[in-house]
Amino acid sequence: MASTSLPSNVMAERYVLGCMMLDDRSLSIGFSYLSENDFVDIKNQNVFRAISELYRRGAKVEYGTVCNELQTMKLDEETGGLGYVFQLTQDVTATSSAEHYIRIVKDQSVLRQFLLTLQKVQKDYMDGEISSVGEFLDNANAEISDVIKNRSVAEFKSAADVAKVVANEMERAKKTGKNGVTGVDTGYPKLNALTHGWQPETLIIVAARPSVGKTSLALNFAYQAAKKEKKTVGFFSLEMSAEQVMQRLISLCASVDGGKIQTGMLNRDETIKVASALKEISDLKLYIDDTPNALLGDIIAKATKLKSQHPDLCLLVVDYLGLIQTGQRQNKDYSRQAEISEISSQLKALARSLQIPIILVCQVNRHADDNSGGRPKLSNLAESGSVEQNADVVLLLYRKDYVDNVLRKKRSSFRSQGGPEPEPEPEAPKAPNVGNVSETEVHVAKNRQGSTDYVNLLFFKAYSRFDTPIPEVDAQMTRNRQNESDD
């Protein structure tokens, strides 16, 4: 077998080197996986050697320093000149893809070494006398095992490399953090205080019973992120069309009743508000995909493409879990529980791959209505085991007016069946009805990197908008919750 026919991917090698010169995280991961011998192209070997020397000395690794190092090592001409190094950085579309290409380079290298080892074993057999078949097989097996171990060991990252990445991230957070928000701004101060913003590589679950407002809250998160971060946000709407999503966006932005926006029956002031909202929304880098009942693979592919086209992608929202399909439902041995598990784990993997937070809207089961006070729990998540396990943050929504409505329906059902009617609960003081407002609790029930607590919000149902209550209302909502807990 000629060496030219051995496995390699020179384009992946180039991409990896470009990422390592542009991004500290890619640099650290590259060194935890690769060595000079993993590169086939001599030019790429030289660039990696120069980067390695800079990294070893603790010097800054970037285009200029790598060029200087190549000149010092008298390898610049053999590498193809400084233009070649510059082109490596220009070919990179998104450093978030670095780990994917690093694995390609490593896998090609291991496969190359494996085939070369097989060639050597064959040559040893042809050229030498075999005094002991057992010894010959043991030696051959040891050589092959060394190659396989090389791939396995590369999966680990040294404490020094990881510590350097974390130190860099801490320094970046110190410089760029806004009021303790180191991730994507949620738009709500108390939620920011608990999460420090939506963090990269995390899966966030927004869960509630139907009609409580989970889609509206997820849309508010998307709107707030696009507005405050001024970066790209993707919204997968599996239940509503893009036009319906836009109507809700206009409503929450303009504080105009969604029904009026749908019918176009607006007065003069509302028309001005809607026009202003349309301009504001048009300036946002918000992208909507409204493919109904989308396949999981399509969502992953579209999200990856969006990231490559818009490297500043900072958040993805998927609405909602119950409508995602994997294409395996025709398999009788493939349960919905297994499908849910695959979906949540794949979306978590996607968040890590794209290095962004992903918000996944999810429905809690009807047993939540039977909980004390009607408040949902983690155990009420649909197929809760896998979803809860894969999630980094879980937000559970609760509205007392929703629970009261459920109780009224139950009392009506008892009456129709001639059964005893439950004692009606005393009505709480009604909130102002501007925008059909509803007091809403957002229970941060799981927070892998922070604390759990309740966040009080006001849901203006007519506008599909969530706002932070004034301090007096916030304090009263907290007291009401505590009094219910005491009861």
* Domain spans in the chain, listed from the N-terminal domain onward: 3-163, 177-486
- Walk across the sheet containing 358-363 and list its strands: 286-289, 233-237, 315-319, 358-363, 203-208, 393-399, 437-447, 453-460, 465-467
Over the stretch 228-247, which tens digit does the pLDDT of each residue have? 999 999 999 999 999 999 99
Q: Round the average pLDDT of the chain to a whole number and report it.
A: 85
Mean pLDDT of 313-317: 97
Which residues, in sequence order, are CB contacts of 315 under 8 Å at separation 6+?
A: 184, 198, 221, 222, 225, 226, 229, 231, 233, 234, 356, 357, 358, 359
Cβ atoms 403, 374 nearer than 8 A: yes
Please give the pLDDT value at position 127: 80
Residue that has been written with the tokens 């320093």 in this structure: 65
Residue identified by tokens 């060394």 is: 146
Please give the Cα distance from 467 to 460 (Å, whole number).
Answer: 8
Over residues 93-137, the pLDDT tens digits come to 888 888 889 989 988 988 888 888 888 888 877 887 666 676 667
What is the pLDDT at residue 58?
Answer: 80
**Pairwise CA distance, residues 391 & 205, whole Å:** 6
pLDDT at 359 over 80: yes
Domain covering 177-486, topology: Rossmann fold (3.40.50)
pTM of the model: 0.66
What mean pLDDT is predicted for residues 133-154?
62
User: Which residues lie closer than 8 Å to 347 by C-beta, 6 or more apart?
Assistant: 203, 296, 299, 318, 358, 360, 390
Contact 317, 158 (CB under 8 A): no
Tens digit of each residue's pLDDT (9 = 90 or more) over 159-214: 777 777 777 767 766 666 577 788 999 999 999 999 999 999 999 999 999 999 99
Pick the CATH number of 3-163 from 3.40.50.2300, 3.30.1490.20, 1.10.443.10, 1.10.860.10: 1.10.860.10
